[in-house]
Amino acid sequence: MSKFDKRGNPVSYHSQSAIDDLDKAFELLAAYQADPMAATDAILAEHPDFVMAHAFRAGMFATATDKAFEAELIKSVTAAEALAGKANGREQLYIKAARAWLDGDFERGVELWGRVSIAYPRDLTALQFAHVGDFFLGYSHMLRDRVARVLPHWDRGVPGYGFVLGMYAFGLEEAGEYALAEENGREAYALNPQDGWAAHAVAHVLEMQGRAKEGVDFLGKTAGQWAPNSLFAYHLFWHKALFHIDTNDAGGALNLHDEKVSAGGFGQALELLDGSALLWRLQLLGHDVGERWNDLADKWETRLDDGYYVFNDANAMMALVGTQRTDAQKRLIASVKRRASGQGTNAMMCREVGVPACEGLAAFGRGDYALSIEFLSPVRAKANRFGGSHAQRDMFSWTLTEAAIRLGDRALADAFVAERLSWKPESPVNRAWAARAATLKQVRAG
């Protein structure tokens, strides 16, 4: 006979106290607070036949998008599948989703978690796994619409309502609905100031609207609430560093890199991503980042043959370019090309975006700006195919703009600058690019 979690979802386990403890782990993950994995492992140590706990653990490892965790993902999927005969329909979908992800079909995994969310609209964790999966797949509108599907079943009386609002806010932002995104994000943050995803949604709105000074103030004033005990703080500090860059405060950005972004020692791919993306922007603008690239590049070099998620590889290429490791660049490009010939979601991402992205970044590093533009310009329009947010994929616009200026191509430079100014007309970074582009000689075709 099924019991139920605190949001009324059926759980096929005999111990209500174990179910209640797993609810607490769910909410730690929803807030990105430490440590849902440790909490789940403690539950499983006492209740090794708790299938939902195994399925939850599998989902956490899957959505970490890091080859380093694959052994643990296999362990959890195997354990969950061995208990599947005792699982209810909801739990079986969780297991199938994790298996699909493990087998390389990320799209199928996200769809299955999404089906759980439709069948059980108050299943906070299935919604979160699908939401994060939409992010990794670059499904901007699904980040919004998947949450919209379940919103009628939530209100302030349902535990975790603020987390759902925070997810909805981020989806609205990625869909370009900035005013509504900010409204929902601030409401979600007010309901739970520890909710890093809600603060994150507000930060994205401020980033996309060019409100850099407000971004510095917002993240600075709220960090005391979301940063302590957070597994996600490094990424919010990355956003704060971007705001510093866009207020001409490169020193502030570098300090955040040293004290907050890299403070965890770049132990996970998600942390390495932020390090690369931050230093790349600073170096493009001509700032001296010193020896900071070296640790990043060393960590990335251990992962060049992972073949797990090509968004990681593109960011790895930035570090290899930053350290002028040409042999490692060639090795990475060869690895991405091999994967592009395979099957599964990541193979598609490699073909569509990964190969030209890595080739284009490497060409930029060699000073072959024309070839860099040739590779990256077509990618610019479809970069969502390999995941991430608009703010993260902005690296392509940054690189193209700088490449066009360095190439001395006035028409291209003007085009890329005009695009950037249409989003952020007051941005000091964009205005500096415009001033540099204006010094180039106009050359007309024909």
130 domain-assigned:
no
306 domain-assigned:
yes
Q: Is 444's pLDDT higher than 80? A: no
Tokens found for residue 261: 């972004």
What is the radius of gyration, based on Cα positions, of the chain? 22
Of 380, 353, 389, 346, which Cα lies nearest the Cα of 144? Answer: 389
Question: Cα dist. 398→210, 254, 330, 427 in Å?
Answer: 15, 18, 23, 13
Q: How far apart, in whole angstroms, are the C-alpha atoms of residue 167 and residue 156?
A: 15
- Residue pLDDT, tens place only, 42-81: 999 999 999 999 999 999 999 999 999 999 999 999 999 9
422 domain-assigned:
yes
Q: Is 195's pLDDT higher than 60? A: yes
- Residue pLDDT, tens place only, 231-242: 999 999 999 999
428 domain-assigned:
yes
| Beta carbons of 31 and 192 less than 8 angstroms apart | yes
How many domains, the chain?
Answer: 1
* Residue carrying the six token digits 């980040």: 143
Q: Is 342's pLDDT higher than 70? A: yes
Full residue range of the structural domain in which residue 319 is found: 270-446
Q: Residues with Cβ < 8 Å from 344, sequence gap 6 or more?
A: 103, 104, 105, 106
369 domain-assigned:
yes
73 domain-assigned:
no
- Residue pLDDT, tens place only, 360-391: 999 999 999 999 999 999 999 999 999 999 99
389 domain-assigned:
yes
Q: What is the mean pLDDT of the chain?
A: 96
- Residue pLDDT, tens place only, 169-193: 999 999 999 999 999 999 999 999 9
* Residue carrying the six token digits 């600058």: 417
438 domain-assigned:
yes
- Residue pLDDT, tens place only, 83-100: 999 999 999 999 999 999
